[in-house]
């Protein structure tokens, strides 16, 4: 078979505002985001719905989510399945919708990410820790926060840096979220002093080194590129994608500070999309933790090892920099409703590539990069988009 | 795009014996089934692994399972994602592996189903109930068992039948499991008296109307049909598939005893595979409950409404009947390790279609049907296979 890498395009997006607490339940958030994306695409039907959600098993007691949301959205009858890749789950939903369209099994497919973390706030940390090894890591007290704190401590030690060298990531994210109406932290100015003075949540990580717990839902509508213009005059092509895994546990990796799956995944996606690093006009990274942003910039080759933080410190990741990152606020300031995050990022990439990013609009981006990280780097999904 | 319906074939299968309790942990069961399937296909590499599992969140505290198993199997680096559709989860993994190969994104893809229900036996019923509506059904005390009991009670009332009319399903399953070395209940004869005398577990359902809780893992290797014969001289083609959802709650359906998603899914799969009901040489049904087998036979048109039980009572579903069902023991007697069940069924279909079914071998089956039910009929996946 010879299916071109860009056989699939996005023709509609839909986002709900990310909030600390949404009044609506999980199914309603999901259905509303689906409806918004369908309205944007101008469709009243879809063949398939792929739902990304990580925490409903524990927080809502729900394990049959895709069909529940399809029903709530009035779409019962269609194919509906749930997919997951820990904290990269939203990207897994996008991946599946892509496969469904590229395989010819669906004409119109929807990828939905939805997460409601406010339901049982006390259980969120433990539920998130199930992204780690339940037998070999969790019993030692490990959480996603503690794993990232360990990586940060290693990084500061190896490269002789200070935690304040990482302030640029939070400052950039908040500056960009400021003008994004869907962001958790919009209309909020955050200063370097506030970042530096924020409480340590897991040494050496400060509150501002971590993304917040919140509720959100976002969806995108996919169809074949060949017919995309019958839906919209501004389709966005999915140029290439790659999913790569690493050794599961950080302890089993040759170098904990090298995200091997990130490096290999971006290389493979570049090859499939036939684009080069220099083509990338914006990069939506998995900035759940500032150290993760830094390690991703290094693994993907945009910065040398030990130099990723500098891209933030020197303003190169800002909207006016040479590699804009987290252009609508990122996981850090738009918010990180886990299973929804990568779909929000996809929607934001579509906004940027189609001139709909408002105050944050980049000049003329042609190619955008999205990378999503499951757990502590065990699963990495890369997607590349173009006009 | 014009991808033929039978673009994908199965070139390897691997099963572990279904046991009440496997000593090995979840990841080891998964890795071992993957290795067995790869050995059967003669491959030492795969591009993608799609894992079906329903209960690890609760029973093993694990939400990042696909990558964990890829690592344990020595396959880290490959694409690995987890998929689910409640009790039809194994079929969802098969669906995803099919999409990955059909889309050209993977040359060799593995679908794995794995479930270890023995870890926390006391939590299994509550975890399974999360396949139902957590807000509108579970608070009323509903479980999968109670929902099926309700359907059975309705059926008996509407059609004036007795519960003993359903004995044929258990008898057929146990007779077939008797000679399947991978079955939970092999080497065990079950008589009509034993079925009739088995304790009522949720009136009117008796113990022998329900599939057992157990541990198991099974895997299949998929590749493009065009290159399948370079792996094996006995490939099995995936002729067509369809995933269809219904209203989520039984209470919202026009007729609780009509599985609309089952009917529509099989119709659509027949159309895609270009086969007819009369072509079907064996039917692996979702016999988690005897009433579900009966309703599936009716929804798929093999029996008229109110007559499905008769196919079992009259021996028509036996190995020597006109529509052999649960040919290796089914969920009822081979066992129902939830996320693994449909992959076991796929392996058994491959055994039947390639002459490897041993004592239970059917004469000359050409086309086989598999149908998997998520929850109480909310999600139905149909797969059709041929030589």
Which tens digit of pLDDT belongs to each residue from A169-224? 999 999 999 999 999 999 888 999 999 999 999 999 999 999 999 999 999 999 99
In the predicted model, is pLDDT for residue B296 greater than 70? yes
Q: Tell me the backbone φ, ψ of residue B305, rounded to 5 degrees.
A: -55, 130
Q: Cβ–Cβ of A76/B132 closer than 8 Å?
A: no
Residues of chain B contacting residue A246, judged by C-beta atoms under 8 Å apart? 67, 76-77
The predicted model gives B216-234 an average pLDDT of 97
Residue B73's closest chain A neighbor by CA?
A247
Q: What is the ipTM of this complex?
A: 0.97
Kind and range of the H or E run holding A368: strand A367-374
- Structure-token pair, residue B189: 């004869």
Nearest by CB to B99, from A1, A92, A105: name it: A105
Nearest by CB to A82, from B62, B85, B378: name it: B85
Which tens digit of pLDDT belongs to each residue from B24-42? 999 999 999 999 999 999 9
For residue B336, what pLDDT band results from cuts at 50, 70 and 90?
very high
Residues of chain B contacting residue A134, judged by C-beta atoms under 8 Å apart? 60-62
Q: Cβ–Cβ of A104/B57 closer than 8 Å?
A: no
Kind and range of the H or E run holding A243: strand A236-245
For residue B3, what pLDDT band results from cuts at 50, 70 and 90?
low
**CA-to-CA distance for A272 and A284, rounded, in angstroms?**
19
Q: Cβ–Cβ of B64/A85 closer than 8 Å?
A: yes
In the predicted model, is pLDDT for residue B72 greater than 80? yes
Q: Cβ–Cβ of A102/B103 closer than 8 Å?
A: yes
Q: Cβ–Cβ of B76/A103 closer than 8 Å?
A: no
**CA-to-CA distance for A289 and A80, rounded, in angstroms?**
32
Residue B66's closest chain A neighbor by CA?
A85
**CA-to-CA distance for B47 and B5, rounded, in angstroms?**
21
**CA-to-CA distance for A135 and A342, rounded, in angstroms?**
28
**CA-to-CA distance for A292 and A305, rounded, in angstroms?**
13
| Beta carbons of B80 and A246 less than 8 angstroms apart | no
**CA-to-CA distance for A106 and A103, rounded, in angstroms?**
8
Residue with tokens 């990180």: A336
- Structure-token pair, residue B210: 């329900």
Residues of chain A contacting residue B52, judged by C-beta atoms under 8 Å apart? none
Share of chain B above pLDDT 90, in %: 97
Bridge partners, residue B81, by sequence:
B50
Which tens digit of pLDDT belongs to each residue from B83-119? 999 999 999 999 999 999 999 999 999 999 999 999 8
**Degrees (nearest 5) of the Cα angle B61, B128, B54?**
50
Which tens digit of pLDDT belongs to each residue from B194-206? 999 999 999 999 9
Nearest by CB to A245, from B67, B103, B104: name it: B67
Which tens digit of pLDDT belongs to each residue from A301-356? 999 999 999 999 999 999 999 999 999 999 999 999 999 999 999 999 999 999 99
β-pairing verdict for B367-374 and B280-284: parallel
* pLDDT at site B5: 62
Separation in Å, CA of B360 to nearest CA in chain A: 33
Closest CA to B316 of B308, B328, B324: B324
Separation in Å, CA of B69 to nearest CA in chain A: 9
Q: Cβ–Cβ of B84/A79 closer than 8 Å?
A: no
* pLDDT at site A242: 98
Q: Cβ–Cβ of B83/A80 closer than 8 Å?
A: no
Q: Cβ–Cβ of B102/A100 closer than 8 Å?
A: no
In the predicted model, is pLDDT for residue A46 greater than 60? yes
Beta-carbon neighbour count of residue B28 at 10 Å? Answer: 18
Residue A248's closest chain B neighbor by CA?
B68
């Amino acid at each position: 078979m010879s299916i071109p890498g860009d056989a699939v395009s996005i023709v509609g997006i839909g986002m709900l505002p990310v909030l600390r607490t949404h009044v609506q339940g999980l199914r309603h958030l999901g259905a509303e985001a689906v409806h918004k994306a369908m309205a944007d695409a101008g469709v009243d039907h879809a063949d398939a719905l792929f739902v990304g959600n990580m925490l409903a098993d524990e927080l809502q007691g729900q394990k049959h989510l895709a069909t529940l949301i399809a029903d709530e959205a009035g779409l019962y009858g269609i194919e509906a399945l749930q997919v997951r890749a820990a904290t990269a789950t939203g990207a897994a939903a996008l991946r599946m919708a892509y496969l469904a369209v590229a395989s010819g099994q669906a004409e119109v497919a929807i990828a939905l990410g939805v997460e409601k973390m406010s339901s049982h706030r006390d259980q969120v940390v433990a539920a998130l820790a199930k992204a780690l090894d339940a037998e070999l890591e969790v019993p030692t007290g490990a959480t996603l926060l503690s794993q990232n704190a360990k990586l940060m401590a290693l990084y500061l030690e190896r490269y002789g840096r200070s935690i304040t060298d990482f302030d640029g990531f939070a400052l950039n994210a908040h500056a960009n979220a400021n003008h994004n109406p869907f962001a958790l932290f919009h209309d909020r100015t955050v200063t370097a002093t506030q970042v530096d003075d924020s409480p340590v949540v897991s040494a050496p990580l400060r509150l501002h080194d971590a993304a917040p717990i919140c509720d959100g839902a976002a969806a995108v509508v996919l169809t074949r590129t060949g017919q995309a213009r019958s839906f919209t005059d501004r389709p966005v092509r999915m140029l290439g994608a790659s999913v790569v895994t690493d050794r599961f546990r950080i302890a089993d990796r040759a170098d904990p500070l090298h995200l091997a799956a990130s490096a290999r995944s971006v290389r493979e996606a570049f090859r499939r999309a036939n684009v080069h690093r220099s083509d990338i006009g914006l990069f939506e990274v998995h900035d759940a933790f500032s150290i993760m942003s830094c390690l991703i910039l290094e693994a993907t080759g945009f910065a040398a090892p030990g130099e990723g933080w500098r891209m933030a410190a020197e303003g190169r990741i800002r909207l006016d920099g040479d590699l804009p990152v987290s252009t609508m606020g990122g996981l850090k300031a738009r918010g990180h409703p886990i299973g929804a995050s990568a779909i929000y990022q996809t929607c934001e990439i579509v906004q940027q590539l189609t001139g709909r990013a408002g105050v944050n609009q980049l000049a003329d981006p042609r190619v955008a990069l999205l990378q999503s990280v499951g757990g502590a780097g065990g699963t990495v999904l890369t997607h590349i988009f173009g006009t």
